[in-house]
Amino acid sequence: MFELSSKMNEERIEEIGEDHIGTSAKTPLRADAFAISDKEKIERIQESVKDILITLGMDLEDDSLQGTPKRVAKSFVNELFMGLNPKNMPKASTFENNYNYGEMLVEKNIVVYSTCEHHLLPIIGRAHVAYISDGKVIGLSKMNRIVEYFAKRPQVQERLTMQVVQAMQEALGTEDVACVIDAKHLCVNSRGIKDIESSTVTAEFGGEFKDKDRKREFLDYLKMDTDFE
């Protein structure tokens, strides 16, 4: 029975091929994802990376490679995929909109460093986030931190865009949030088709941003030259 299930799974993977398929707006985590400590995760990943390098024929006695398994393991747990752990979710401090600012607020050009969950290769780009206050405002740096938190995990860009909007909506208590992400995927740029020029644009519009005029206003802001140097 197991062999049949395994064979069907392999056939499904072959059928998907290079297609980038997202299953839901939630990151697919097992129920026991945090049953072991970060320290133990680093130790396990270190051994796995060591095995991969040895299998590839690398000489881990070389000075340049001796520390690679541990460095990779630490970067996975503490940096590249730190957004998997809810304890790292930034506190989205909000404040009363005492100055009654009623127009949209746009935070442009938030740097995105993420990792494609299909090939574990980098996704590099920019996120643009906007909201219209319904009585609350959020610290500007918190918007950057929310993007960073959801980016720092194995991702698909569509899911990342949705997760940023959903987190902002929850923090602000309003549906009026939008996000556009424009990013390069190294799984496209450096392997497979090897198209170094193409980028991927995704968008999620909530509340008032579904109105075509509001949507156009937001997109027009993104065209503004904000190079002050």
Catalytic residue among 107, 148, 155, 157: 157
User: Coil, strand, or helix at residue 148?
Assistant: helix
179 in active site: no
Distance from C-alpha of 100 to C-alpha of 161, rounded to nearest angstrom: 28
Catalytic residue among 119, 158, 169, 175: 119
Distance from C-alpha of 207 to C-alpha of 30, rounded to nearest angstrom: 32
Catalytic residue among 20, 118, 175, 217: 118
Catalytic residue among 46, 179, 185, 208: 185
Catalytic residue among 117, 148, 204, 208: 117
CA proximity to 103, closest of 133, 67, 59, 72: 133
Catalytic residue among 107, 116, 148, 163: 116
Catalytic residue among 148, 187, 204, 208: 187
Which residue do the tokens 């970067």 mark? Answer: 75
128 in active site: no
Distance from C-alpha of 156 to C-alpha of 26, rounded to nearest angstrom: 11
Distance from C-alpha of 220 to C-alpha of 120, rounded to nearest angstrom: 34
20 in active site: no
163 in active site: no
Query: What are the catalytic residues?
Result: 116-119, 157, 185, 187
